[in-house]
């Protein structure tokens, strides 16, 4: 089962990913402002709108990971980490290794 240091390291990694993605999104916005290209009708690849949507979705997921890991750290501090929030049973260590921010056991997650 992950310990506090592991959860902190995972949250730091997710936070660094958020920072990188935010920078990438800002750069994409700046590039689209600086260009007057008609990317919507360019047959040579994805549009800026598509790239922006993809990047925004990945950024949203990374932010969610940071929040989930912060919540996991709070549960660890209060002694409720590793306990299913639905049924109260212990969450198997293998599930917590695979998904350290898990709030439910496998049965309740299904």
- DSSP 8-state secondary structure symbol assigned to residue 92: P
Q: Which residue has the higher pLDDT, 40 or 81?
A: 81
With contact defined as beta carbons under 8 Å apart, do 6 and 100 qualify? Answer: yes
Whether residue 51 is contained in a domain is answered as yes
For residue 55, give its domain range: 4-81
CA 29, 32, 33 angle in degrees (round to 5)? 85
Whether residue 88 is contained in a domain is answered as no
Whether residue 108 is contained in a domain is answered as no
Whether residue 105 is contained in a domain is answered as no
Q: How many domains does the chain have?
A: 1
Whether residue 99 is contained in a domain is answered as no
pLDDT the model gives residue 42: 56
pLDDT digits (tens, 9 = 90+) for 42-79: 555 567 788 889 999 999 999 999 999 999 999 999 99
| 68-71, long-range: CB < 8 A, 24+ apart | 68/101, 69/7, 69/10, 69/11, 69/14, 69/100, 69/101, 70/11, 71/101, 71/103
Whether residue 50 is contained in a domain is answered as yes
Q: Which residue has the higher pLDDT, 74 or 33?
A: 74
């Amino acid at each position: 089962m992950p310990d506090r240091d592991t959860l902190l390291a995972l949250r730091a990694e997710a936070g660094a990913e958020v920072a990188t993605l935010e920078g990438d999104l800002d750069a994409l916005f700046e590039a689209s402002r600086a260009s007057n290209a008609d990317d919507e009708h360019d047959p040579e690849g994805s549009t800026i709108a598509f790239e922006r949507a993809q990047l925004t979705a990945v950024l949203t997921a990374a932010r969610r990971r940071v929040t989930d890991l912060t919540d996991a750290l709070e549960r660890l501090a209060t002694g409720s980490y590793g306990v299913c929030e639905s049924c109260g049973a212990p969450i198997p260590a293998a599930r917590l290794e695979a998904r350290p921010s898990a709030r439910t056991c496998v049965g309740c997650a299904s």
